Each structure stands twice: as structure tokens, then as C-alpha cells.
Structure 1
Amino acid sequence: MASKMVTNFRRSLSFHNHPSYNSAKPKKTLHARSASLPCRSHPIISQLRDKVDDLNDRATSESGLRTSGWLCDGLARMKMVHDLLDDLLQLPQTRESLRGGGQHADLMEKLLEDFLRFVEVYGMFQTLVLRLKEECSAAQIAVRRRDDSKIIVHSKNLNRIGKEISNLVCSFHSMGKLIMPAVSSHDEEAELIEVINDVIKVTIVISTTVFGVISNSSAFRKPPSIGLSFKKKVKSEEGIKELEEINLDNLLGLRKKTEEDVKDVSKKMHEMEDCIVEIEGSGERVFRSLINSRVSLLNILTQ
């Protein structure tokens, strides 16, 4: 029985809102160049490797307190990498090289499993970020009403969700660990698998950073005890600036505060919610791009 093609998400042009980072040439130009090149590698592979290197440099060169803009920009760059990978997987020569029966069939199956795991993890991440947004909205109401009992409940819920986001990192432990054969100029299939595995590795690096800085932010973490204050202070510097501005456990006793104080707290919480909304949108775009990459890979293996 002929296997069926899996339909990709239709990519929206509005997603590409970082033109300064998108140096890829139009597909038609790339296809025309590839026909005249004496080497077997397609220009998209070189572009993809450059993008992966840039992402790795970005992840390792910056540390300490980050902003939500930095985080969302990293997710946007990672989406571009997966969009470029999807373009590579759509090429006829790529599909021909990777289609069934090759000596690297087992590696291809492992890559497919890794992409499935990415889709699952980012699906869970989207659910958790939605819960963060809902808890933040409910907490704002409790702050305006100066309801300490509700503030305590929402603080515990935010802390619990933050831990769940941190635990997503454990999903990557068995991923990106392919034992790659040496790539020669005559093994196009091995070269393609290698670059796909490089994309998986950099996706793990960026995702781990994203999940870590969110969960380490004080908005989703209990305030430090006296004995652990120094350790917690160091850890809090790895969070997101907009999510370091407030901690619900520190807001108890609002009934004794002035109206101006309550308004100031409400403003910070509104900014925190806006930050979460931005992260939610960036995560959603990455989620769809990951699905596209896996669908393209699956179609190659099942045709």
C-alpha cells in the first residue's frame, strides 16, 4: 500500500520579522546555483551550518541576567534554522539521498525520534506557558483586591509551573547523541545526516537555556531562606529581567500598603504578563517550525 504524505503547517511570511538575520537567498537562486556547482553539497547546507554556529556562539557568549527580548530573539533565530532545514529537506536531491535503504537508515530513524521528542517537549512548553499566563492574570486580580490568601495560592502555582518548565530539560538527555561516521566528499547522505544532527544539538542548547532562564526567574521561585541566600542570589542572576521584578511571596500584607504601592505592583505584574505573552508567541512559532521539519523528514522516510 502506498504510504500517504503528511501535510506540513503552511508557513506564514509574517513570522520572519528579523530581516537582519535572514541572509538566505531565494530558493530559485539556490536551486539554479546548485545545478552548476562541481561539489555535491548544496548552498543551503553552508547557510545552515553558519546559522547553527551563530546560535551556538550566542548561547555561550552571553550569561547572567537576560531580557525577554533576548530570549524571544533566540527562539526566532532557532525558528529560522528549522525553516532553513525544512527548505533543505524539500529539495529533490535531498529527498533522493535520504530516501530509504541507505547505509545510515538507523541514524535516520533516530533523527526522526529526536524530532518527535522536540515536538512533544514544545507542546508541553506551550501548555505550561499558557498556565503561567492564566495564573499571572488571576494573581493581578488578587493584588488589586489585596487578597493575601489568593496571592499565596497563585504564588505556589507559579512556583510549581516553573519547576515543570525546568524539568523539560530532562527530556533532552537521550537526544543528539548520534555516533556519526566520518563524512567524505562521496557520501552525501552522511553529510545531510550530520547537518541535521547539528541542528538537533543547537536546538537542545537553546531550548535548555530558554527553559532554564524562565524557571530560574524569581517570579516563579520561592524567596531564598537565610542559609541559602548567597546561592539563590547567584542563581537568580540567570533569570529573565522582566520576571525578576516581582515575587508574589514578597507581596503579602498589601492591605497595609498605600494605593500608590498597589498600583506600582499591578503595573509590574502587567509587564510580567506581557513578557509571558511574548514568550508564548515565540514558542508557538518554534513549535510549528519543528512540526514542519519532522513532517518533511517523515515524508522522506515513508514515501
Structure 2
Amino acid sequence: MAKSLFHGRSDSLPSRSHPLMSKLDDYICRLRASEATSTSSTSIAHKLNGLPDLHDCIDKLLLLPLIQQALAREKNGKCVDELLDGSLQLLDLCNSAKDTLLQIKEYTLELQSTIRRRQGGENGLATEVRKYLTSGKLAKKAIQKALTNLKGLENKYSFSCTDSSNEIATLVTLLREVQTITLCVLKSFLSFISGQKAESKPSHWSLISKLMLHKRVASDEEETQENEFVMVDDSLKSLVGCKTACKYDNFMLMQNVQGHLKNMEMCIQDLENGSHSLFRRMIKTRDSLLNILNL
């Protein structure tokens, strides 16, 4: 756990009783504990909203003269170089996740507008739905590429800081722990919005039943975590694939599409707020490191 990071620290660095260290300990423990919680949009948004506070605490830590002096002395060391490199890569990853979410938001708003106007009649609507699904596939491919690249970034956090003083090694370990937590949250974030799910081809009536089942309340012991992005895709595919001429069936499918799009819109808003706040805070942390290292 995070508490082990404070053992054996040099007297030249802030002690564990320092207010900043206590806050860091608390934030790290809370975020680490949340890793075992659900992967619902609410849970991921909560984690995203907690990261800026963690990075703000790191920012304040980097303002301490003793910390700045210790890092400046080792600015050409492997540990510090790896720390800065990790910070820059995480910033790029966060920016990519933020931009991808913005693209999905734009596609969603455009589709909602088309559904409301019903431009081009039913055929026109089907064309817009297919365009949305195609755009979504492109976004998912970009996310999968980013997730693949994460493996290389994760490996960088496994190196041992053995070429620096004990105080620098301890400090770098602490900062790297923050980067690791940030990486884990961003990975969950990207995985969630990619909404990967095995496709199936049930009959029309089973599609209706499946959509209705989403409205049930799961028990506390067997709660199913619904992914708003997956549910929108499923409902749109059901709408486009519906071959029946029954107006009631079409109406029910359209109602489900609109309901899932509305839920996803609110989900995107929560995730967008958290990712934007995190990105701004990570920029500040990057600038603080660059300033200390005179880069």
C-alpha cells in the first residue's frame, strides 16, 4: 500500500507527518482501494474526479525547496528522466482519451438532432445511424491502439531506481506510484468508452425482450454494470436491423434508442468534466517538473 512508500525516507525530505504527505497517503490509499470497485461510468467518473486532487498535492510537493533541490541535483539521472518521460506520455494519453470522448460526444449530439428532426424519413435515419456506428468503430480502433501502447508505458514503471541517492529513489517511487494510479484510471476510462462486446444476432422479439430487461433493478449481490456506450450501440443495431412493419415495435425500439442516447449523454458529461480537470492538472505537474529540471 501507499504507506510503505514513506518508510526509510531521508530526513532531508518531508516526514510522513507533513500535511502534504498525509494527504498524499490518504489520496493514494483511497484511489488504490477504488481499483477493486465496479467499472460503471459512475465509478470511473468518481476516480477521474479524484485524480486532480492527487496531482494537486504532488504539485504542492514539488514547490517545496527541499524537493526541488533534490530533483535538480539528479536531473540527468535515469530515474528522473524516466519520471519526466512517464509524465509526458501520461499527458498525451489523457489528451487522446479526452479528444476521443469529445468526438463520440459530437457524433451522439448529431445523431440525437437527426432523430428529433427525422430528416429524410426512416431511410434517412437509418443512414445516419449507420454513419454513427461507422464513426464509433473508427474511434474504438484508435482506443484499442492506445490501449496496446499502454503495455509499453506500464513496463516503464517496473524499473528499479538504483542509480540515485536513497532520498531520490524514495521520492521517485512516490511520484511513480501516482503515475501508476493515473495510468490505471485512464486505462479503465479508455476501456469503458471503447465498449467492446461480443456481437450476437437474436431474433426481433428477443431483441425487444433484451431491451426491456435493461430496465430491471439488479440485486445488490448480482448487480450488473451496464455500459452506456454498449447499450447505445446495441439499441441502434436493433433499430437498423428491425425488419418488422409493426409500428408499435418500431416505436418501442426508437424509445429505447432515445433513452440510451440520453443516458450516454449524461455519462459523457460526467467523464468529460473529470478528464478535462485531470488534463489541466497534469499540465501543471508537467510544467513544474520541467521548471525544476530547467528544461
Compute the TM-score of the two structures, normalised by the length of structure 1: 0.72
Aligned to 1:224: 200
- State the percentage of identical aligned residues: 22
Match of 1:177 among 154, 158, 163: 158
Q: Which whole-Å CA distance do the structure 2 matches of 1:108 and 1:125 have between them?
A: 26
Distance in 2 between the 1:135 and 1:99 partners?
Answer: 46
Matched, 1:105 2:93: no
Deviation for aligned residue 1:112:
0.7
CA RMSD, Structure 1 to Structure 2 (Å):
3.0
Give the TM-score, by structure 2 length.
Answer: 0.73
Q: Give the match for residue 97 of structure 2.
A: 125
Letter of the structure 2 residue corresponding to residue 180 of structure 1: C
2:237 pairs with one of 249, 252, 272:
249
Q: Is the Cα contact below 8 Å between 1:52 and 1:81 reproduced in 2? A: yes
Q: Does structure 2 retain, via aligned residues, the 8 Å contact 1:89–1:296?
A: yes
What is the alpha-carbon distance in structure 2 between the residues aligned to residue 95 and residue 238 of structure 1?
Answer: 47
Gaps of 5+ in 1: 1-37, 227-236
Q: Are 1:203 and 2:176 an aligned pair? A: no
One-letter code aligned to 2:195? N
CA-to-aligned-CA distance 1:122-176 (integer Å, 9 cap, x gap): 1111111111001111222343424112211211211321232233223332332
Change in CA separation of 1:285 and 1:138 when aligned onto 2, cut-off 3 Å: same
Alignment match, 1:45 = 21
1:66-215 correspondence to structure 2 within 5 Å: 66-101=39-74, 105-144=77-116, 145=118, 146=122, 147-175=125-153, 176-181=157-162, 187-215=166-194
| 2: CA distance, partners of 1:239 / 1:113 | 35
Partner Cα separation in structure 2 for residue 150 and residue 39 of structure 1: 62
Q: Give CA deviations for 1:35-92 in whole Å, capped at 9, x if unaligned.
A: xxx7843422343233223212211x224xx432211110011221111111111111
CA drift of 1:286 comes to 0.7
Cα deviation, 1:92-118, whole Å, max 9, x if unaligned, reads 11111111346x722111111111111
Q: What is the deviation of 1:180? A: 2.4
CA contact (8 A) 2:28 2:54 kept: yes
**1-side partners of 2:247 and 2:143: how far apart?**
33
Q: Sort the Cα spacing of 1:211 and 1:300 in 2 relative to 1 into closer, same or farther, 3 A.
A: same
- Contact 2:94 2:186 survives alignment (8 Å): no
| Cα deviation, residue 250, structure 1 | 1.6
Whole-angstrom distance in 1 between the partners of 2:13 and 2:80: 20
Query: Judging changes above 3 Å, is the alpha-carbon distance between structure 1 residues 257 and 178 closer, same or farther for their aligned structure 2 residues?
Result: farther
Q: 2:6 aligns to what? A: none
Work out the number of aligned pairs and report it.
248
Decide whether the 8 Å contact of 1:178 with 1:197 is kept in 2.
no
> Could you tell me how far apart the structure 1 residues matched to 2:89 and 2:163 are?
26
